[in-house]
Structure 1
Amino acid sequence: MKILANDGIDPLGKSLLEKAGFTVDTEHIPQDQLAEKLPAYDAITVRSATKVRKELIDGCPDLKLIGRGGVGMDNIDVAYARSKGIAVVNTPAASSLSVAELVFAHLLSGVRFLYDSQRKMPVEGDTNFGGLKKAYAKGVELRGKTLGIVGIGRIGRETAKVGLGLGMDVIVSDLSEAPASLPVTLSGGITVDVPIKQVPLEELLRNSDFISLHVPFTDKPVIGAAEFELLKPGVGLVNAARGGVIDEEALIAALNAGKVAFAGLDVFDNEPTPRKELLTHPKVSLTPHIGAATGEAQERIGEELANLIIAQLTK
């Protein structure tokens, strides 16, 4: 069988598939050429860049499997594919820690103004060193602050564990029941159960010093204009989930008004062309959707995806 790894796959995953007898093609086919070329393959693996919609599925009657390297599958018409007998698999656990660590990269950047300092030091550092030092003199520590996590799935839990390890108080909001505590693994393999508290979303919004979002996009933002009114003045927000989870217009207004001290964004409404107002905003820490972009996560994703494909297609 032939597999198109259209958005790439870690060498470990490719090796496992080839040892199982599959041919793996890692040359990227642009979206506008997929309808013509995908029928030559038995399966396709994607990340967030490639979309597998109804029209593409209809043009590939022999397609047996769609694999998503990562968590969210909003770039795949999952239900329709499955209705056609196509297996759809993803790797929800493999990238959780890498995404959680990126959340804290944004949080630590925010509380110490690194997002702005990295822009201004190369330009003004030799002429306005004292002025910049004064401008960044009001940093805060994360320890002892309240971290609100919206969505306590795998990534939300890993984010909570990192926060607990830093000594933060963690509150969570989720439609499902959250655990009362989470195991935090310390150096040396020591594991300690640390309590967390589940609260309604409104309570989380009112009481969190920092908020991290870990939910899929549905029909409307989780934090829109009305929700921004509930937030503590000076709150920090991080979105490493999906574009659209935060209303970007309302976020810009809240940043400009000082209601939100800073935002860390890894995802955007209009990927891959985010709005300039966010890209150039002095209070926004930016990354280009790289939550799972670590060597460790990619290896785990490749291995898990390969094993899922082998299990599905060698039954």
Structure 2
Amino acid sequence: MKLLVPERILPQQLERLQREHDVHYDATLFERADDLIESARDAAGIIVRNVTQVRGPLLEAMKDCRVVGRLGVGLDNIDMDACAKRGIKVIPAVGANALSVAEYVVTTAMMLRRRAYLGTEAVAHGLWPKLAMVQGREIAGATLGIVGFGSIGKAVAKLAGNVGMSVVAHDAKATSADGLEGVKFMSLEQLLGTSDVVTLHLPSIPATHNLFDAAMLARMKPGGILINSARGGIVDEAAVVDALKAGHLGGAAIDVFVQEPLKDTPIFHDVPNLILTPHIAGVTQDSEWRVTDLVVGEVLKFLAA
């Protein structure tokens, strides 16, 4: 069978696919819409990351498609309803990158709360901002608020508990921690007023668009830290900058953006206690192997059935 892989994949896993199927692989094919559609017409399956839009013209062209492998967990680039109607199996890498995201969240929370790691430029230029940096706080004893308690939220809760944080959570569907001890569920309003650090793990859907706007940020505990490693558009980026400059937020880490790749954006220049990363919270060498191994294995298993 023909499989289409229009984004990068680990060489070892590509070879694994090629041993059993006719694989059309081009790591930049997603950038050329017409070529992508033409290549997809006779494919029995497609394996994508988060850029290829498996919807509209592409999905309509894939008359023979039986399976979509998603090298990640977010599904906002896949038309799930259309796939369901056509009987197309969608296979995401649920749980495979959860630990990497959890480590990103706890690490950035430590950096922003401690403030000791943001002085490299000043120290390298002969300055000695010691008095400013000794105002940092320890992470142990701080309260972490997790908004969205799926597989990643649970991994974050476990790791945060291991470093001595108190954990509270809010989820529109979940009401218990599913075996995780010490996690207290509460309303979003309560969570925002209670948490020293708020981390978001929500899908990109109409209900979450700009959920964390200026009004929502104002409800956060003064000096609190916001971390978004979920999806761009859940937070109002300009409002986060304003809250940092005003001193209401004590820090923020943003890994996902409305526009990706992020272009030179003046609003992010010279903002205090802000960490920006290029959508890599869930991407490490370790998680990359787990993600591709899981998805490739499940796609092969499905096609062999």
Asked if Structure 1 and Structure 2 have the same fold, meaning a TM-score greater than 0.5 normalized by the shorter chain, the answer is yes
Q: Could you say which structure has the greater relative contact order, defined with CA pairs below 8 angstroms and 6 or more residues apart?
A: 1
What is the TM-score when the length of structure 2 is the normalising length? 0.91
Q: CA deviation at 1:290?
A: 0.6
- Is the 2:146–2:170 contact (alpha carbons within 8 Å) kept by the matching residues of 1? yes
Matching residue's letter, 1:83: K
Structure 1 residue aligned with 2:91: 89
- Is the 1:12–1:299 contact (alpha carbons within 8 Å) kept by the matching residues of 2? no
- Is the 2:238–2:267 contact (alpha carbons within 8 Å) kept by the matching residues of 1? no
Where in structure 2 are there 5+ consecutive unaligned residues?
A: none
- Separation in 2, partners of 1:106, 1:89: 30
State yes or no: 1:226 paired with 2:215. Answer: yes
Q: Single out whichever of 33-42 and 156-165 deviates more from structure 2.
A: 33-42
Q: CA deviation at 1:199?
A: 0.4
Q: Summarize the alignment of residues 164-175 of structure 1 with structure 2, pairs less than 5 Å apart.
A: 164-175=161-172
Q: CA deviation at 1:146?
A: 0.5
Deviations 1:198-245 (A, max 9, x none): 001100011100000001122232322221221111000100000111
- Separation in 2, partners of 1:181, 1:82: 28
- Is the 2:42–2:63 contact (alpha carbons within 8 Å) kept by the matching residues of 1? no
Q: CA 1:276/1:216 → structure 2, altered by over 3 Å: closer, same or farther?
A: farther
Matching residue's letter, 2:146: I
Q: CA deviation at 1:112?
A: 2.8
- Separation in 2, partners of 1:244, 1:310: 34
Q: CA 1:61/1:181 → structure 2, altered by over 3 Å: closer, same or farther?
A: closer
Where in structure 1 are there 5+ consecutive unaligned residues?
A: 184-193
Among all aligned residue pairs of Structure 1 and Structure 2, give the percentage whose two residues are the same amino acid. 34
RMSD: 2.0
SS at match of 2:118: helix
Structure 2 residue aligned with 1:305: 295
Structure 2 residue aligned with 1:156: 153
1:41 to 40, 43, 53: 43
State yes or no: 1:210 paired with 2:197. Answer: yes
- Separation in 2, partners of 1:61, 1:119: 55
Matching residue's letter, 1:6: P
Matching residue's letter, 1:98: S
State yes or no: 1:13 paired with 2:13. Answer: yes
Q: CA deviation at 1:303?
A: 1.4
Deviations 1:96-141 (A, max 9, x none): 001111112211221233563244444x2x2x1x2x2222221110
What is the TM-score when the length of structure 1 is the normalising length? 0.88
